[in-house]
């Protein structure tokens, strides 16, 4: 089979960067694309969302702002590295979102990276069943290596 790119319409998908397509979400027959909603240029505030890929143009059908992984760190004064959260799908309605932040150390040579994760589980009706944050501070020696490529 030859796989080729083709244009489906003159619209853009309503997510930033990469999304995860789930062709039959939890046996519902719905083709959903999960990612970070492209609301505006300040994408650190944009929510995790689901896009109905059978609609023309594709439409956002649910958003979960509380599932963004760095919210607690930003309130504590930690800085984002200007990167958008990434999304991974593990099946069964379970997702992992992650983003890289910096600690609030003033001296650049002493600054450490912090990975923020959010485990998310959704129901077949797209209700947020659970979200659990985790943060990991990387060793100082890891500061020169990008930590946003995990999978």
Contact present, 37 and 14 (Cβ < 8 Å): yes
Residues 5-48 pLDDT 10s: 777 788 889 998 889 999 999 999 999 999 999 876 555 568 89
Strand-pair category, 128-137 with 59-64: unpaired
Confidence category of residue 100, pLDDT binned at 50, 70, 90: confident
Beta-bridged to residue 36, according to DSSP, are 16, 48
**Where is average pLDDT lowest: 2-6, 103-107, 129-133?**
103-107
Confidence category of residue 147, pLDDT binned at 50, 70, 90: very low
DSSP output for 39-72: -SS-GGGPPEEEEETTSSS-EEEEEEGGG-TTHH
Q: Give CA–CA dist 62/52, Å, rounded.
A: 9
């Amino acid at each position: 089979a030859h796989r080729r790119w083709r244009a489906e319409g003159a619209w853009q998908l309503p997510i930033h960067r990469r999304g995860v397509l789930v062709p039959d979400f939890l046996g519902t027959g719905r083709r959903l694309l999960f990612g970070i909603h492209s609301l505006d240029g300040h994408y650190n505030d944009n929510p995790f969302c689901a896009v109905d890929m059978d609609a023309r143009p594709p439409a956002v059908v649910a958003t979960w702002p509380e599932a963004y992984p760095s919210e607690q760190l930003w309130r504590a004064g930690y800085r984002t590295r200007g990167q958008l959260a990434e999304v991974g799908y593990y099946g069964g309605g379970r997702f992992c979102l992650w983003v890289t932040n910096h600690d609030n150390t003033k001296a650049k040579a002493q600054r450490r990276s912090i990975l923020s994760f959010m485990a998310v589980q959704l129901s077949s009706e797209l209700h947020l069943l659970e979200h659990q944050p985790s943060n990991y501070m990387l060793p100082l020696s890891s500061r020169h290596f990008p930590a946003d490529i995990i999978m």
